[in-house]
Amino acid sequence: MLENVNEKCAVVGIFGHKEASKLAYFSLHALQHRGQEAAGISSSDGEKLHTIKKRGLVMRVFNETKLKTLSGSSAIGHTRYSTAGDDSILDAQPVFARYDLGEMAIAHNGNFTNAEEVRAALIKKGAIFQTFMDTENLIHLIAKSEKTQLTPRIMDAVKRIEGAFSLVFLSRTKMFAMRDRFGFRPLSLGRLPNGGYIVASETCAFDLVSAEFIRDIKPGELLIFKEGREPKSIQIFEPTPKHCIFEYVYFARPDSKVFGQSVYQTRKNMGKELAHIKPIEADVVIPVPDGGVASAIGYAQESGIPYEMGIMRNHYIGRTFIEPTQEMRDLKVKMKLSPMTEIIKGKRVIVIDDSIVRGTTSRRIIRMLKEAGASEVHMRISSPPTTDPCFYGVDTPDKDKLIAANMSTDEICEFIGADSLAYLDSEALLRSVNAKEDNYCTACFTGKYIV
């Protein structure tokens, strides 16, 4: 279970459906795991854009009355994860703006790596910013472009930005969807059952609204949706795929298909690889829920050791603000995760998790399992050691807080109190996701940054 690592956002776009904002709302529910701090939807009725956004979970931000005000047949939506300190409502998305061509709204998943540089240049030319979001840079770039139509302006603007972005734009009459040239973050296209289209960060949103998956939007591709015609594709950048491998390890929902593959199946493959390269004798394999579940099933199937749900997760715990003492911190983990004593007591346990970031949560989990009577606890991690922070849309702690950047595996094992600790290696991870040559970003395991 990853501590302090969060996907920053999810985006959705609905075009050509009379209940566009309702479908965006349901889709955002499916994407809630990618951001819980704020949610928003902008819709267009052909004349005007309407926006509602607020801090909180999707179900708290919207209700029937609010959704009725988001009228029109196109809508874009966003769920946001924000780091501490930038939790202002101004930083919720979509970002709405009026400019010389009318109105537009933008929602963004990712991180612009040259955001500060672009912002400084814009400020020098007199631009005034209201938020700390990268997305606002785009608004200014589009508004200041000398082109006379929106599509060329968007093309102009995205050529000025670098980094990771999956974007949806809404104007009065069109919707646009785009991925950066590396395709770091996923974005898929689907067809709605009664006509119209959906784009979403993950295909689990399609399932909820009964949409049919068409294809992934290509890295560097801009899709333009206009009433009465098929989406038009413009390949703005030469595609150079570098998909975020962490989507498979942790972020994406297991029932999604990202970058063309089932997340559940790739996680199971990781578990099988782990059993193959890091075997150990034990009585039971258990996952740290939810992140370790599919890998633990794979590990158990490959090793022949029985799989059990040895830890139960309480899904109804939100944020807790009880922090001060060690005892209270342990209580916080126990509120979320409870050991199944009858499964663990007297057993040699293999516990599977997706990653270790700071190590403090793993330490508490192992202590909890030993207190529940496990005779041995062997921790197996279904990804390589997380040694480097992400600059492409995932909020990770700085390098000095990443335990694997500062300790050897043996030292981490001792710190977390396990009887043994082993990670999946990079080659096995790439095999698990059927990587073709070099089409994945693995920078948080290797420090090899792409941009």
| 314 or 446: CB nearest ligand SF4 | 446
In the list 25, 112, 165, 184, the residue contacting ligand SF4 (rule: CB under 6 A) is 184
Q: Residue 314 CB, nearest distance to ligand SF4 (Å)?
A: 27
Which residue in the block uniquely carries the two structure tokens 């929602």?
Answer: 107
Q: Residue 391 CB, nearest distance to ligand SF4 (Å)?
A: 7
* Strand segments (E) across 45-101: 49-55, 74-80, 95-99
Q: State the number of binding residues for ligand SF4 (CB under 6 A).
A: 11
Amino acid letter for position 18: K
443 binds ligand SF4 (CB under 6 A): yes
Q: Residue 450 CB, nearest distance to ligand SF4 (Å)?
A: 8
* Backbone dihedral angles phi then psi of residue 336, each to the nearest 5 degrees: -85, -40
270 binds ligand SF4 (CB under 6 A): no
Whole-angstrom distance, CA of residue 306 vs CA of residue 297: 9
Q: Give CA 336 to chain center in angstroms.
A: 21
250 binds ligand SF4 (CB under 6 A): no
CB atoms within 10 A of CB 314: 11
392 binds ligand SF4 (CB under 6 A): yes
Q: Residue 444 CB, nearest distance to ligand SF4 (Å)?
A: 3
176 binds ligand SF4 (CB under 6 A): no
| 410 or 438: CB nearest ligand SF4 | 438
355 binds ligand SF4 (CB under 6 A): no
Nearest to 80 by CA among 183, 10, 159: 10
9 is annotated as an active-site residue: yes
112 binds ligand SF4 (CB under 6 A): no
In the list 118, 122, 245, 300, the residue contacting ligand SF4 (rule: CB under 6 A) is 245
In the list 244, 285, 337, 412, the residue contacting ligand SF4 (rule: CB under 6 A) is 244
| 257 or 332: CB nearest ligand SF4 | 257
- Of 288-296, 312-320, 354-362, 436-444, which segment contacts ligand SF4 by CB under 6 A? 436-444
Do the Cβ atoms of 256 and 211 come closer than 8 Å? no
Whole-angstrom distance, CA of residue 379 vs CA of residue 410: 12
302, 305, 306, 308: CA torsion to nearest 10? -90
Which of 9, 244, 390, 413 is flagged as catalytic? 9
| 62 or 248: CB nearest ligand SF4 | 248
Token code pair at residue 178? 């785009």
| 40 or 393: CB nearest ligand SF4 | 393
Nearest to 178 by CA among 138, 123, 129: 138
Whole-angstrom distance, CA of residue 77 vs CA of residue 75: 7
390 binds ligand SF4 (CB under 6 A): yes
- CB-based contacts of 62, cutoff 8 Å, min separation 6: 25, 39, 41, 52
In the list 246, 248, 299, 423, the residue contacting ligand SF4 (rule: CB under 6 A) is 246
In the list 394, 418, 429, 435, the residue contacting ligand SF4 (rule: CB under 6 A) is 394
Do the Cβ atoms of 398 and 391 come closer than 8 Å? no
CB atoms within 10 A of CB 236: 15
Q: Residue 111 CB, nearest distance to ligand SF4 (Å)?
A: 9
Looking only at the bridges linking them, the beta strands covering 284-287 and 348-353 are: parallel
Kindly list the strands in the beta sheet with 188-191, ordered across the sheet, starting from the edge strand earlier in the chain.
49-55, 38-44, 74-80, 9-15, 197-200, 188-191, 212-216
- Of 165-173, 201-209, 266-274, 389-397, which segment contacts ligand SF4 by CB under 6 A? 389-397
Token code pair at residue 309? 């749900």
Sign of CA dihedral 313, 316, 322, 323: positive
311 binds ligand SF4 (CB under 6 A): no
CB atoms within 10 A of CB 319: 6
Q: What is the DSSP letter of 354?
A: S
444 binds ligand SF4 (CB under 6 A): yes
Whole-angstrom distance, CA of residue 369 vs CA of residue 351: 9
Nearest to 21 by CA among 80, 96, 103, 77: 77
Q: Residue 16 CB, nearest distance to ligand SF4 (Å)?
A: 32
Q: Residue 21 CB, nearest distance to ligand SF4 (Å)?
A: 31
73 binds ligand SF4 (CB under 6 A): no
Token code pair at residue 113? 């790596």
95 binds ligand SF4 (CB under 6 A): no
Q: Residue 405 CB, nearest distance to ligand SF4 (Å)?
A: 13
442 binds ligand SF4 (CB under 6 A): yes
Nearest to 24 by CA among 200, 183, 166, 178: 200
217 binds ligand SF4 (CB under 6 A): no
- Of 192-200, 240-248, 281-289, 312-320, which segment contacts ligand SF4 by CB under 6 A? 240-248
Contact letters for ligand SF4, residues 131-170 (x by CB under 6 A)? ----------------------------------------
Tell me the catalytic residues. 9
Q: Which residues bind ligand SF4 (CB under 6 A)?
A: 184, 244-246, 390, 392, 394, 441-444
